[in-house]
């Protein structure tokens, strides 16, 4: 089922970071597990673009929280085989395959940014296995009724979604150029994003630590091309493949009020349509504040 490597932390023999691959049909998924080997299992679904190596608490912190954090590269990102024409709902099958390989009967899920819709897919499709779900700075469906999908979104970020409507070839061309530039110089994407950020995110990006984590995640995500990024954006523009009102597990939504990448109105809209959900909009935060709030959300998920 798996092959890879693991590393422990001095004085904490059970605080592990393990990397391996899981087969799903003729595809492979690159998986990472961090934290307590016997801890409460939580899947972390990364953003767009992103990878399983994306920002997360240190393994020693996860160990102290009693959490076994499982992340993976979505198809087309990093070390995971591309799945052309994938839909958001397909993430549930991949998470189920990883959970089966790890012999996990029950678990929680959290999705950050572009991972949010994929976390909701798991909650909808795997209600007897997902105990709780959380979405941090997530997106609503592109055809959401009574929602101005682009309102509050930075122009350059909105243009990537608009490109998906103009046709796959054009979107591929635009994203390929951006992805190639990012793969060659991952820091360039952070600099490009800075021009679209509100004040809280600009202050957040003063952290050398978080900039390094993001740079590594972008480099890992795009090392084999732009396909994961493109497929994410196209998947958001299609029917997601599940109904929000069928979600059974409790769902917690968090958003920064000054988010210019996925506006907070998206989480408010979702909260009105997911039965057992609650939403918190933090007024001194924006998009990347989701990284700082993650430990608190993990504590709730593992409760």
Give me the CATH number covering residue 57: 3.40.50.1820
* Parent domain of 115: 4-301
Give the C-alpha separation, 190 to 84, whole Å.
Answer: 27
Beta-carbon neighbour count of residue 252 at 10 Å?
19
The residue length of the chain stands at 303
Confidence of residue 110 (pLDDT cuts 50, 70, 90): very high
User: How confident is the model over 89-106, as a mean pLDDT?
Assistant: 98
pLDDT digits (tens, 9 = 90+) for 274-284: 999 999 999 99
**Predicted local confidence at residue 165, as pLDDT:** 64
Take residue 169 and report the two structure tokens written for it: 């070839």
| 293 pLDDT higher than 60 | yes
Give the C-alpha separation, 57 to 71, whole Å.
Answer: 12
Interior/surface letters 10-20, b for 16+ CB within 10 angstroms, e for the rest: eeeeebbbbbb
Cβ neighbours for 110, distance < 8 A, ≥ 6 positions apart: 42, 43, 44, 45, 119, 133, 134, 135, 136, 294, 297, 298, 301
User: How confident is the model over 20-47, as a mean pLDDT?
Assistant: 97
> At 278, which helix (H) or strand (E)?
strand 277-282
**Predicted local confidence at residue 172, as pLDDT:** 64
DSSP assignments along 30-77, one per residue:
EEEEEEETTSEEEEEE--SS--TTSS---HHHHHHHTEEEEEEPPTTS
Share of the chain above pLDDT 70, in %: 91
Cβ neighbours for 207, distance < 8 A, ≥ 6 positions apart: none
Q: Which residue has the higher pLDDT, 180 or 200?
A: 200
Look-up of token digits 């099958």:
93
**Predicted local confidence at residue 269, as pLDDT:** 98
pLDDT digits (tens, 9 = 90+) for 36-74: 999 999 999 999 999 999 999 999 999 999 999 999 999
Identify the burial level of 211 via C-beta atoms within 10 angstroms of its C-beta, where 0-12 means exposed, 13-18 middle and 19 or more buried.
middle
Mean of the per-residue pLDDT values for the chain?
91
Confidence of residue 174 (pLDDT cuts 50, 70, 90): confident
Quote the Cα angle for 259-269-214, to 5°: 30
| 103 pLDDT higher than 90 | yes
Count of structural domains within the chain: 1
Among the listed residues 205, 99, 206, 192, the one whose alpha carbon sits nearest the alpha carbon of residue 154: 192
**Predicted local confidence at residue 166, as pLDDT:** 61
pTM given for the model:
0.92
């Amino acid at each position: 089922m798996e092959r890879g490597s693991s590393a422990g932390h001095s004085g904490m023999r059970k605080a592990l970071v393990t990397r391996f691959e899981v087969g799903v049909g003729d595809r492979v998924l690159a998986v990472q597990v961090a934290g307590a080997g016997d801890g409460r299992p939580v899947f972390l679904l990364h953003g767009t673009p992103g990878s399983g190596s994306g920002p997360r608490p240190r393994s020693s912190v996860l160990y102290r929280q009693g959490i076994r954090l499982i992340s993976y590269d979505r198809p087309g990102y990093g070390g995971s085989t591309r799945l052309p024409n994938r839909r958001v709902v397909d993430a549930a099958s991949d998470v189920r395959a990883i959970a089966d390989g790890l012999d996990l009967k029950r678990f929680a899920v959290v999705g950050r940014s572009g991972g949010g819709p994929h976390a909701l897919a798991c909650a909808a499709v795997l209600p007897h296995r997902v105990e709780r779900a959380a979405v941090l700075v997530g997106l609503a469906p592109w055809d959401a009724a009574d929602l101005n999908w682009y309102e509050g979104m930075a122009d350059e970020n909105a243009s990537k979604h608009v490109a998906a409507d103009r046709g796959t070839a054009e979107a591929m061309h635009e994203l390929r150029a951006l992805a190639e530039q990012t793969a060659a110089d991952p820091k360039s994407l952070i600099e490009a994003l800075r021009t679209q950020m509100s004040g809280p995110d600009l202050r957040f990006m003063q952290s050398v630590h978080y900039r390094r984590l993001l740079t590594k995640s972008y480099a890992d995500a795009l090392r084999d091309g732009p396909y994961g990024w493109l497929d994410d954006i196209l998947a958001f523009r299609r029917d997601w493949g599940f109904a929000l009102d069928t979600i059974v597990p409790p769902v917690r939504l968090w958003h920064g009020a000054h988010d210019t990448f996925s506006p907070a109105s998206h989480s408010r809209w979702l909260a009105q349509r997911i039965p057992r959900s609650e939403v918190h909009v933090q007024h001194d935060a924006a998009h990347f504040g989701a990284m700082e709030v993650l430990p608190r959300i993990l504590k709730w998920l593992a409760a």
